[in-house]
Amino acid sequence: MDHEQFSVATFNLYNFQLPGKKLNPFQKPWTKDEFNHKVSWIARMLENIDADIVGLQELWHAEAMETVLARQALKDKYDLLATPATGTKIVCAALVRKGLLSGDPEWISTFPAAVRLESTDELDPQSPAIEVHIPGFSRPVLHFKVALRDAPPLVEVFVAHLKSKLPTQINGEPWYDADPETYRDHRNALGGAISTIRRTAEATALRVLLTGVMKGTETPVLVLGDLNDGQHSNTINILTEQPNYLVGESHGGADIGLYTAQTLQEYRDTRDVYYTHVHQDLRESLDHVLVSEQFYDHSLRRKWLFDGLMINNDHLNVEDHKATGTTDHGVVKVRFKWKPFAS
């Protein structure tokens, strides 16, 4: 069945685990009441956004999400993609409206072979050699395909959750414990650098995966996720390849470029109210929907027209997320309608 319009969303669930089950170190398990609050709030949010594809982050246990989907308004509405969510770690997952999924989903843990972060920088002899070895993603990337039209190609969807900005805890590392006097006053700086290097490497690995799917093809691609960095950050620039945003009657496109839905919305609306996370009163945009040129208005290879972005972030004004069942991230929804470019 050909769809004339569809919508996607990205939704960080904030440690969605069954009650009494372990969370991250120093985090108390959810009580039954807290869990029930989360189930009710997540269900209401899903009913409200009513998206066809929802990329999920921070799901611990598939049963927790199944409890949400058992609600009357959501029953038999979605396929849940959450095979690795067995309660031992947080994973990326997805909800796909019944009838859209094509084939089996995969979770990608290991970096592609093309990710090699080494350089002697012979063009700048003042720069010391660098060598970074990170074998895989902190949170495996979910990849699946959906059929929005009867004719090919299928739409390829990636759900990602990149390393957070929080400094990595280096206390307990053998090198730290061997000489704490040297490192104690620099824990935040060192930990922040480690997290940034890891997130940058993950963005690079995801970019390599995307290029493998997109280069020389007309495959529509969507990336949904908590990417833990801002719209103009180096992380997002690596992921998008920084395509040009055309205006007026200009047309073009970028074979492997990705366009941020945030930017597409900014071209439609001069009022910028996009933020998805609040930390120490700093409002940031960490959750993104990135789209290939098949979803870009000015692309000669456009198939779908951007039809607006909606962000639900009022709940970020509430600090006690345990008491309310809310999450600590905004939920981003983006709409598209079928309108191929007419040459």
Dihedral sign, Cα of residue 14, residue 18, residue 23, residue 29: positive
Are 254 and 297 a contacting pair, CB within 8 Å?
Answer: no
Residue 4: per-residue pLDDT: 93
Say if residue 122's pLDDT is above 90.
no
Full-model pTM? 0.94
Say if residue 161's pLDDT is above 70.
yes
How does residue 25 score in pLDDT terms, banded at 50, 70 and 90?
confident
* Least confident window among 51-55, 83-87, 119-123: 119-123
Q: Give the residue-averaged pLDDT of 14-30.
A: 91
- As a whole number of angstroms, the distance between CA 110 and CA 51 comes to 30
- Summary mean pLDDT of the chain: 91
Residue 278: per-residue pLDDT: 59
Structural domains of the chain ordered from first start = 5-338 (3.60.10.10)
Six token digits for residue 60: 């611990």
Q: Give the residue-averaged pLDDT of 301-326.
A: 83
Are 49 and 95 a contacting pair, CB within 8 Å?
Answer: no
Does 324 or 91 have the greater pLDDT score? 91
Beta-carbon contacts of 66 under 8 Å, excluding residues fewer than 6 positions away, are 80
Does 107 or 325 have the greater pLDDT score? 107
Q: Give the residue-averaged pLDDT of 196-206.
A: 96
Does 46 or 313 have the greater pLDDT score? 46
